Structure 1
Amino acid sequence: MDSAALVELASALPDIVLKEHRHWTSITFRGKGFAWVDHQEDTAMVKSTHADREAIIGNDPDTFSAGWASRTTAWISIDLDRADEQEVFEILADAWRMTATRQAVAAYDAELGL
């Protein structure tokens, strides 16, 4: 997959606001960032939990690596050339859930029949 495909995948999530910059796109829920895509490098940085990040990296360290981290969140760096679209969408959806309001998550889950 490439950076344009990741932006398209993210656009399927509710209330997404894309902020385009010269070589990268910030993907936000109503202005709150949960992913950044570097179009020149075909890489992305996506919000996660510490535990999920470690599990994802452990399963495929050639595609995923550790990005930024704080006390409450950890970011996953993704080599998009090597990444599987379905797995990336699941990571994006989890990041969206961490960022979106409870009401937005509940509405999205109801739409999906969850």
Structure 2
Amino acid sequence: MSPDEFLRIASALPEVELAQHSEEWVGLRVRGKGFGYLSEAKRTAQLKATLAEQAAMVGDNPEVYGLSWTSGQFGWVEVRLAKADPEELVEVITDAWCLTAPRRLVADYETRAGLAPMAEIPTEG
């Protein structure tokens, strides 16, 4: 997956804002809260996950996912875009957004998309 494809997928989610986080990283935000970062130069992304998801992704597929940092109840994963399965990455991006977006916005998105509501997971909103 290319950085442009990554940004296209993330930008399709409701109320996503892109902001230059640093010289190297573009931040992905929903209502002012970050859920991901993209380094076009490194062709990697950092995405928010639960600690359990972080451990599972890295353990199951270490060629694609790497440990990044943790913050409270969340762990961030580094994604090597060139090695990522596009369908799986759509899910990982969406899950990161869902962990960060306000609950009402997530519920509205799931209803419009015809998705079953996400299991009770910790969110910031």
User: Same fold per TM (> 0.5)?
Assistant: yes
Displacement after TM superposition at 1:59 (Å): 1.6
Displacement after TM superposition at 1:83 (Å): 0.8
TM-score by length of 1: 0.94
Residue in 2 that maps onto 1:88: 89
CA distance in 2, matches of 1:68, 1:112: 31
CA distance in 1, matches of 2:102, 2:92: 17
Question: Are 1:4 and 2:4 an aligned pair?
Answer: yes
CA distance in 1, matches of 2:2, 2:99: 24
CA distance in 2, matches of 1:72, 1:86: 26
1:60-71 aligned within 5 A: 60-71=61-72
2:46 is matched by which residue type in structure 1?
A: M
1:19-75, Cα deviation, whole Å (9 max, x unpaired):
135432101102210000001000010000010111111221011010011231100
Bigger mean CA offset, 18-27 vs 73-82: 18-27
CA distance in 2, matches of 1:13, 1:52: 20
CA distance in 2, matches of 1:71, 1:27: 19
| Bigger RCO of structures 1 and 2 (CA < 8 A, at least 6 apart) | 1
Name stretches of at least 5 consecutive residues in structure 2 with no aligned partner.
Answer: 116-125
Q: Secondary structure at the match of 2:42?
A: coil
Q: Which runs of 4+ in 1 moved over 4 A?
A: none
CA distance in 2, matches of 1:70, 1:102: 20
Residue in 2 that maps onto 1:52: 53
CA distance in 2, matches of 1:109, 1:66: 28
Name stretches of at least 5 consecutive residues in structure 1 with no aligned partner.
Answer: none
1:1-114 aligned within 5 A: 1-20=1-20, 22-114=23-115
TM-score by length of 2: 0.86
2:111 is matched by which residue type in structure 1?
A: A
CA distance in 1, matches of 2:41, 2:28: 16
Q: Secondary structure at the match of 1:81?
A: helix
